[in-house]
Amino acid sequence: MGTWAAYLAFRAPADGRVRFPDHERAAVAVDGWTYLTGEITNYEQFEAALSGIPGPALLSAVCDSDFAGITGYLDGTPRWNAYINHQRAVAELDVPLPESEPAEDEDLLDRIMAWARTAEAPPVDRDRLRKVLATSCVFADDGLLALEQLLGVISPEVRPFGSDQRTDYDIVMITPAGETVPDEAIAEIARAVQGEADSGEPDENGHRIEFFVPKTNAPAVALPAFSATLRRLGISPATMVFWDGDWTPLADLGR
């Protein structure tokens, strides 16, 4: 399954004081930065502590490797906020988010670059920044890493999460509200894509099911098998399917 984690990065205190003595420090941070990792439940603790941290800081959270939220702080005040896999965050979070992609928000790009200058980061190339924010990632961890490396927080030698820690990709489906997919149908879909299923509890938003597909079963093969099986099982054409950064109605999938 994916990563659920919170991260806090800030310029290491010049006096050598150790903040958060009970939290794990990642050795991947660039010299001059402190990088803390924690459970997703640590997010609010990290957020509350930012009021006492001078200078630049980054607070981020990865949600099941589906999307990541990142906020840049300066002297405890948030200066910018962005998402990796923005459209998935829009679909899954119960908070209002801009519909426009972060890569298309010129003001956001300006604010990130201004923040990077205060962080004493190497000059940030605007086109590279735009590309990082525009890229749909199988694992949001990789998009977060790319942004942190571009901003000079994490060593460029660190390998992407998906390169050696995961061997599958995922396809997500959400049925219309009130519709539930039986367990035997879920099992049949999983067999069709040669993968495993993780079914959420049906609620007022529908029935969300995630299928983890081995990379040996290429998308060009797995997606047609997936959509054909859903149609054969009589799954509603209004069911939304997430693949490669986009939500598509089953009625349009593969058309």
The answer to whether residues 135 and 27 belong to one domain is: yes
The span from the CA of 98 to the CA of 101, in Å, is: 8
The answer to whether residues 144 and 36 belong to one domain is: yes
**Rg of the chain (C-alpha set):** 20
Residue 255 has pLDDT above 80, yes or no: no
The answer to whether residues 195 and 148 belong to one domain is: no
Residue 254 has pLDDT above 50, yes or no: yes
Number of domains in the chain: 2
Q: Are 103 and 85 in contact (CB under 8 A)?
A: no
> Among residues 143, 163, 183, which one ends one of the domains?
163
Structural domain of 247 = 167-252
Those residues with Cβ within 8 angstroms of residue 7's Cβ, 6 or more apart along the chain or in another chain:
35, 36, 37, 38, 46, 58, 59, 60, 61, 62, 144
The answer to whether residues 153 and 47 belong to one domain is: yes
> Among residues 163, 182, 213, which one ends one of the domains?
163
* Predicted local distance difference test score (pLDDT) of residue 212: 87
The answer to whether residues 173 and 245 belong to one domain is: yes
The answer to whether residues 103 and 50 belong to one domain is: yes
* Predicted local distance difference test score (pLDDT) of residue 228: 94
Q: Are 38 and 5 in contact (CB under 8 A)?
A: yes
* Predicted local distance difference test score (pLDDT) of residue 153: 93
Whether pTM exceeds 0.75: no
The answer to whether residues 143 and 185 belong to one domain is: no
Report the CATH number at residue 194.
3.30.70.240
* Predicted local distance difference test score (pLDDT) of residue 13: 73
Tokens of 30: 């660039």
The answer to whether residues 85 and 196 belong to one domain is: no
Residue 1 has pLDDT above 80, yes or no: no
The answer to whether residues 9 and 45 belong to one domain is: yes
pLDDT tens track for 109-139:
999 999 999 988 788 999 999 999 999 888 8
The answer to whether residues 44 and 156 belong to one domain is: yes
Look at 12-16, 154-158, 188-192, 206-210 and tell me which has the smallest mean pLDDT. Answer: 12-16
The span from the CA of 186 to the CA of 189, in Å, is: 5
The answer to whether residues 121 and 171 belong to one domain is: no
The answer to whether residues 159 and 184 belong to one domain is: no
132-136: long-range contacts, CB 8 A cutoff, minimum separation 24: 133/82, 133/84, 133/86, 133/101, 133/102, 133/103, 133/109, 134/101, 134/102, 134/103, 136/85, 136/244, 136/245, 136/246
> Among residues 119, 136, 163, which one ends one of the domains?
163
